[in-house]
Amino acid sequence: MTIIPALAMLSFTIKSYLIGFLHLLLLGLLTTALLGMALRQKWLVATAPLRMGIFVFLVGITVSEGLLFVQGTLFALGWGMIPYYWGLFLGSICLPLGVLLVVVFSQFKQHSELVVAS
């Protein structure tokens, strides 16, 4: 965000942009990349409930990020505030709910190569 000077100024003066950018990097990219890597390496078995947990988590990211960036854009354009707190709350509830579903319904692949030395 700091490559374009005008966007850099907006990102540091408007809290919604800054919070949205940090959440997008940490939640949107890092967490989904780790989940994708775990599925691709077959560390997690992709069952239907696990997919539902990942879907709920991604919906939470999309809703919360979308609301943060829309609010920041409206504020930057001088159009004022929208009542987005309930939407942000509901989107944020999806994040731990999705993680809970992933943790509860994940079936980790058992590694039989692991030998305990006695």
Q: Measured in whole angstroms, how far is the alpha carbon of residue 56 from the centre of its chain?
A: 10
Q: Report if pTM > 0.85.
A: no
Point out the residues of the chain with pLDDT beneath 50.
Answer: 1, 112, 114
pLDDT at residue 117 in the model: 56
pLDDT at residue 54 in the model: 92
Q: What is the pLDDT of residues 99-117, one digit of tens each?
A: 999 888 886 555 545 455 5
